[in-house]
A and B are shown apart, each in its own frame.
Chain A
Amino acid sequence: MSLPHKMNLENKLSRQLSGIPRSGIRDFFELVIGRSDVISLGVGEPDKATPWPIREAAIRSLEKGQTSYTSNLGLESLRVGISGYVEEHFGVSYDPKKEILVTVGVSEALDLAFRAVLDPGDEVIFHQPCYVSYGPTITMAYGVGVPINTRLEDNFTLRAEDVEKAITPRTKVIALNFPTNPTGAVEPPEELEKIAALCVKYDLLCFTDEIYSELLYDQAKHVSIVSFPGMRERTVLLHGFSKAFAMTGWRLGYACAPPVLLEAMMKIHQYCMLCAPITSQIAAIEALKLGATAYEPMRQSYEERRNFVVKRLNEMGLNCFNPGGAFYVFPDVSCTGLTGREFALQLLEEHSVAVVPGEAFGPSGATCVRCCYATAPDLLVKAMDAMEIFVKKHRK
Chain B
Amino acid sequence: MKGLLRWESVLFVLLALVAVVGSAATGGSFLTGRGAFNVGSDLAVMALIAMPLTLVIVAAEIDLSVASVLGLSSALIGALWNAGWPLEAILPFVIVVGAVCGAINGFLVTKLGLPSLAVTIGSLALYRGLAFVVLGDQAVADFPESYTQFGTNPVPGTWIPYPILLFAVLAVVFGLLLHATTFGRAVFAIGANEEAARFSGIRVKRIKFILFVLTGAVAALAGIVYTLRFASARADNGTGLELEVVTAVLLGGVSIFGGRGTIGGVILAALVLGGLTDALILDDIATEVVKLVTGILLLASVFAPAVTKRLTRGTP
A joins B in a complex: no
Q: Interface of A with B (CB < 8 Å)?
A: none
